[in-house]
Structure 1
């Protein structure tokens, strides 16, 4: 039997300051603290995290796991492996859940007890154009893939929750994804393929504070491209179909998406950055494709 309602799993790597802010927000959740636990998984950080985590042990049921650096997919699975909650809620160390985050998930689980629930992610750094452009791209993906709250197809792993038993039954995240790139997309796709339901819960909100500069913005989206190839390859192997990517209209709408969200003088800059992100994404995709050994066709 579950020992609590929720297990919050947080992978972290070399961001102690961000982790502290995340835990401060979790300590302020309006959900009864006796009904959730927090599992922080240190994915091989250079700086010990005990001083950060120990500050919150009087307020939270909190555990710290350590593993050699293996990527966020592996770290999330490690946290889920010791989870005692009926449900697992995933977030990241650079995220700050709002006070009603778990309450919103709990309310929706009452009518959807077996679903994968995804919340809304908000940009915590609106003054940073790179962070804003990156979040707008995610917002576009939510608009594109999630046609209504009850017809969702993609949630980012920094803000979703699901039954613990169901997470374990389909094998968790694919550990072959070493980067924070597309492992959540693959998980959602596999969840749907196994007959699972996905429900969008926009009131379950977190603020994402991903500080980006031009070099880190490029690297992030280059890695997204690498992850996208891995996702499409894994999906093609599972479905025995050829690798297929989104149509050109998808990218045109993505690049023009900022004009529907912000004033035009800002949208021009954001649109240019999203165009740059897609160039980085494409280079990462084909770079990863070239690195995969080609199996010769039988003759």
Structure 2
């Protein structure tokens, strides 16, 4: 196995990477250059131990560089005596701070085709870099995750660590029997090495993880605006990009110091929750406040509105935004006329409707007017595309997402008869299709079927039995699963025992003063005047 990813790599369905033919450690020839990026702030002694271990790696020296990013240490970090040959310390780019920013700063200077992120308190075994790098020789859309255990830092020198790692035994200097195992390793084992995991990004928590450099940059790197949980948020975006998460237990490491969650779990969870709630829509447990607006929506609804009356579009948008799935964004696709600054009469024809439509939604941040949609809606996890004539019923999106999740599908198509089709797509499946080279809609659909599966449904499964547009106006009908209370179901007497107007077939006026029908009010006024004239009032 030499060179880059093998030609025509085997197909990986969901996250089951079993088809990849992994070589044994030491039994293959590496060829990809690896850049190890280490964000650090203070902790010179721990960094010395980390670099001493990296200097004893089985991965070829000429294929490995190490970039330590100093995130404002006082005093500044220095390069120790024992370190890999190609190691340098750089300062984080000015203007920001934090782990995410430091990693991005290092990745921007990296020359390797593979990026290995490593924490400055992670001492790795001899085969660590090799174990993870071999996956990237098999596929260019794998994210490899190393193993770790937590230990109390012992009094040990860098020279002793270097000697132990080169000899192949971390146990010579660290008491591995007393180490605290990572909770992620239990999850990895329970889910067959993440092969059966529905959301494998959950265990990609950052301290030792590697990927192709172009994948890192394609998703925008880490988000410096997320000071807590930045690794999980980054892993979520990687998942939407379509990558495969592969844990490798041969890539062992010890984390110097106990995890913060173990010391104060409640506080750690509270610190990370608001950041993840806004940025990871799949964390439904963090989005229990239904009326809230979130940074990243759960579903993007795409409506093609060229040639459609503005009133119909407004009704369809209202239906999408008012359904049982609250965090929705709408993209209205049309050849929107661009203002050119010239004095012109008010247009007519299609441009007139589009002008009205654009202005109507101009200040609603949930609605965008676009001339086309991107290949994927990432980081939004789902995209719905359907006709304006059949807007989503109150529970359509909820039901379609449930069906997609239940069967782990990448795409669900619903037949709407003469009105066409409605399609719900899973973003990670679209991302995988693009990573595999699918370039046109047919190729994307074929790839999604192969890697995630595609299903079909009937209209009655996701829309009420009644016509979705009975009066031709585009107005949605209410889902029978949540029927409105009818007049017959309401009590015919009020709390004071008086008979309600509904009992006589009359509608009350606003404020309860009598009939609301204008003709009835007019007749009543006329009768009052007549009574006055004849002296009966």
Do these two structures clear the TM 0.5 threshold for a shared fold by scoring above it? yes
- Say whether 1:83 aligns with 2:110: yes
Deviation string 1:129-153 (CA, Å, 9 cap, x unpaired) is: x983xx5444455457x55343432
Aligned residue number for residue 229 of structure 1: 274
Aligned residue number for residue 58 of structure 2: 30
Aligned residue number for residue 55 of structure 1: 81
For residue 160 of structure 1, the aligned residue among 209, 230, 234 is 209
Structure 2: state its 5+ residue gaps: 5-30, 153-173, 282-294, 299-324, 328-537
Structure 1: state its 5+ residue gaps: 244-299
For residue 142 of structure 2, the aligned residue among 106, 112, 115 is 115
- Mapping for residues 211-222 of structure 1, pairs under 5 Å: 211=258, 217-218=263-264, 222=267
Task: State the aligned residue count.
Answer: 231
Aligned residue number for residue 98 of structure 1: 125
Does the residue aligned with 1:90 lie in a helix, a strand or coil?
Answer: strand
Structure 1 residue 238, shift from structure 2 partner: 2.0
Does the residue aligned with 1:96 lie in a helix, a strand or coil?
Answer: strand
- Mapping for residues 1-299 of structure 1, pairs under 5 Å: 5-50=33-78, 53-56=79-82, 59-67=84-92, 70-125=97-152, 132=180, 135-140=181-186, 142=188, 147-150=192-195, 151=197, 152-153=200-201, 154-178=203-227, 181-211=228-258, 217-218=263-264, 222-236=267-281, 237-240=295-298
Cα 1:213–1:100, aligned 2, differ >3 Å: closer, same or farther?
closer
Structure 1 residue 113, shift from structure 2 partner: 2.8
Q: Say which is worse superposed, 80-89 or 3-12, in terms of deviation.
A: 3-12
Of the two structures, which has the highest relative contact order with CA contacts closer than 8 Å and spacing of 6 or more? 1
Structure 1 residue 207, shift from structure 2 partner: 1.0
Q: CA RMSD in A?
A: 3.1
Cα 1:221–1:158, aligned 2, differ >3 Å: closer, same or farther?
farther
Cα 1:55–1:224, aligned 2, differ >3 Å: closer, same or farther?
farther
- In the alignment, the residues of structure 2 paired with residue 175 and residue 230 of structure 1 have an alpha-carbon distance, to the nearest angstrom, of 11
- In the alignment, the residues of structure 1 paired with residue 127 and residue 326 of structure 2 have an alpha-carbon distance, to the nearest angstrom, of 43
- In the alignment, the residues of structure 1 paired with residue 222 and residue 72 of structure 2 have an alpha-carbon distance, to the nearest angstrom, of 18
- In the alignment, the residues of structure 2 paired with residue 45 and residue 189 of structure 1 have an alpha-carbon distance, to the nearest angstrom, of 30
- In the alignment, the residues of structure 1 paired with residue 212 and residue 206 of structure 2 have an alpha-carbon distance, to the nearest angstrom, of 14
TM-score w.r.t. length of structure 1: 0.68
